[in-house]
Amino acid sequence: MKLYRLLTEDDTSAFCHKVSEALSKGWELYGDPTYAFDASNGVMRCGQAVTKEVKGSYSPDMKLGAQ
């Protein structure tokens, strides 16, 4: 089964660390990163989709970050 996550964060090193941590846990980049202005908070935001192949069946109760 393939899992999907969309990682988001303000445009700081925290975003790079979040993506790097996911990669170190076996997640793979999926598509291009995204970058947009969050007008309500006045900051730039980053996003990156990642996927991971795991055993078992999908459940909406899964904690994807723990995979």
Residue 67 has pLDDT above 80, yes or no: no
Q: Whole-angstrom Cα distance, residue 53 to residue 25? A: 11
Range 1-9 average pLDDT: 96
Q: Name the pTM for this structure.
A: 0.87
Residues 9-23: tens digit of each pLDDT: 999 999 999 999 999
Q: Are 49 and 5 in contact (CB under 8 A)?
A: yes
Q: What pLDDT shows up at residue 12?
A: 95
Q: Give buried/exposed letters for 30-53 (b at 16+ CB in 10 A, else e).
A: eeeeeeeeeeeeeeeebbbbbebe
